[in-house]
Amino acid sequence: MTSISPHTPVPDEEQTLRRAIAHRPDDAHAHAALASFLCGTGRVDAALAHIDHEVRRHPAKLWPLSIKAGILSSERRAAEAIAVHRLLVAMAPDVPLIWANFASDLAAVGEVDEAAAAFRSAVRRAPDHGAAWLGLASLPGVSFDDADLAAMERGAALSPDPHQKIQLLLALGRGYGAHGLIDMSFAKFSEAKALRETLVPYDADRIAALVDAHALSGASLFAAAPPVQAQASGPIFIVGMPRSGSTLVEQIVGSHPDIEAMGELFALQDVAGSIGALADPDAFVRRIGTLTPADAAELGARYLEGAGRYRRTDRPFFTDKMPANWRFVALIHRILPGARIVDVRREALACCFSAYTTHFNRHTEFPNSLADLGAYYRHYVRMMDMARNAAPDRIFPLDHARLLSDAEREIRALLRFLHLSFAPSCLKPEDNRRAIYTPSAQQVRSAIAPLADRSRAYAPWLGPLKNALGQGTD
């Protein structure tokens, strides 16, 4: 963690926040804003110390504990957050949001039964709480009966929050699908995605422009740094489509004694954004091509500092499993030339349909239509193929189907690529009890086994996706 010494000037924003607290010492919003600022600057311990002071000062109030639980959850310290959640539900058992947040952290650490009970506590008190219904739908062994489906329908009709409604519709889609009502199921998925497009519109042209700009720059962009030996420590990037199996791959390599599984990090996106990736694709690609060695080293150090705030062990390697980092593969090669990249690929139709039925938060730009999903998949494949053709020694193409059918062979090959010795623990990823915050969290807590392809049941509705993937229609 970084900290501010007594001789370091306090940033103006922090001074403003502290003055607001001095003026309104019992204003929960002011304390939350300061805690958010401190966390945003990497000073999580300072944020927790500040809030712990407020917890002691206001032992009967909810807001200090709520802020503390939020900090711990956002910092992926689920076990610590759960202890705070237990205090909160005891103090305020009728608040649905408290139960839902409690359940989410329980689910992250694999406490499925208790998570289901907590989600149920939330929806009993608030039938329109979409996040809780979708959380329930994501737990293994949970099924929705007719009463549940009716309650969700009422909640979706009455929900004043469109983001909660999206989650309700996705949960209904899963519920109707489990009952074999495929037409009703697909209608709910489609309604959810159409609503999301009005709230988080997807810019298909920008993704296309980004990939085109890389292609125009040629292979030298991906192989710009000189060939180097694999790093002796640092990040292992796991990229691909959402729902490609990337969480399983991270669970496998995170079971190696030399690798810490870190989940989805935003550090690389932050670095890319700082040099224009999110504003002007052409300028971004030109900037990559003109980075001096000093520039590249500085950006690499900035990435490592941003990722480092989440480290909890001294293992030499860590994973960065942000699927959309495929967009920045050339940047990785330039600023972290020893880093290795694992490209996880799952069969296109099954992968895209699974992504279509998945919830993405309001801060994630991702295709909302089947046609855009198919085009996005093809852009991803084009980018990664260009990168691997230019620098085959730095990217491992991991086939999801091959991993499931012959796990040991694929895992041994992956570890050789990473220049790591074989570890039998990697064959038993279900024994890894780390906290997981992705939609695949519960799936990867089971032994490696083939998955059912849900897209087959929905084939009559998937024409736009098939066409976009270049597969035609049946």
Which helix (H) or strand (E) segment is 342 a member of? strand 340-345
pLDDT(120) > 70: yes
Percentage of the chain lying above the pLDDT 90 cut = 83
CA gap 104, 359 in Å, rounded: 14
| pLDDT digit string, tens, across residues 359-401 | 999 999 999 999 999 999 999 999 999 999 999 999 999 999 9
Residues linked to residue 318 through DSSP beta bridges, in sequence order: 235, 260
Of the candidates 39, 8, 34, the residue with the CA atom closest to the CA atom of residue 20 = 34
The mean predicted confidence, pLDDT, of the chain is 92
Q: Distance (Å, rounded) from C-alpha 306 to C-alpha 302?
A: 6
Domain boundaries, the chain: 204-469
Residue 29 has pLDDT above 80, yes or no: yes
Distances in Å between the Cα of 458 and the Cα atoms of 196, 295, 453, 454, 466 are: 21, 49, 10, 7, 12
Q: Measured between alpha carbons, how far is residue 384 from residues 87, 191, 325, 391, 459 in Å? A: 47, 32, 11, 10, 28
CB atoms within 10 A of CB 434: 20
Report residue 145 as tokens. 């009966």
pTM above 0.75, yes or no: yes
Q: Is the pLDDT of residue 7 over 80?
A: no
Residue 88, CA distances (Å) to 53, 74, 84, 208 in order: 17, 17, 6, 47
Q: Which amino acid is at 137?
A: A
Q: Two tokens at 327?
A: 């967009």
In the predicted structure, residue 220 carries a pLDDT above the cut 90: no
Indicate if the pLDDT at residue 50 is higher than 50.
yes
H or E segment to which residue 158 belongs: helix 146-158
Residue whose C-alpha is closest to residue 378's, from 464, 470, 247: 470
pLDDT, tens digit, for every residue of 197-209? 999 999 999 999 9
Interval 245-265: pLDDT, tens:
999 999 999 999 999 999 999
Q: What 8-state DSSP symbol labels residue 393?
A: G
Q: How far apart are CA 121 and CA 151, in angstroms?
A: 14
Tokens of 77: 């310290």
Q: Any idea which of 184-188, 228-232, 306-310 has the lowest mean pLDDT?
A: 228-232
Which amino acid, one-letter code, is at 37?
F
What is the reported pLDDT for 10?
59
- pLDDT at residue 450 tops 90: no
Between the CA of residue 210 and those of 280, 286, 366, 408, what are the distances in Å? 8, 11, 15, 36
Average pLDDT rounded to a whole number, residues 41-51: 93
Calculate mean pLDDT across residues 257-284. Answer: 93
**What confidence tens digit (pLDDT) does each residue in 58-97 have?**
999 999 999 999 999 999 899 999 999 999 999 999 999 9
Question: By the 8 A CB rule, do 195 and 159 touch?
Answer: no
pLDDT on residue 229: 66
d(CA 386, CA 392): 10
| CATH number for region 204-469 | 3.40.50.300
Q: Give residue 208's pLDDT.
A: 96
- At residue 413, the pLDDT reads 97
- What confidence tier does 443 reach under pLDDT thresholds 50, 70, 90? confident
Q: Is the pLDDT of residue 230 over 90?
A: no
Given a cut of 60, whether residue 2 has pLDDT beyond it is no
Place of tokens 């489990």: 178
State the Cα–Cα distance between residues 135 and 315, nearest whole angstrom.
32
Confidence of residue 164 (pLDDT cuts 50, 70, 90): very high
Percent of the chain with pLDDT over 70: 95
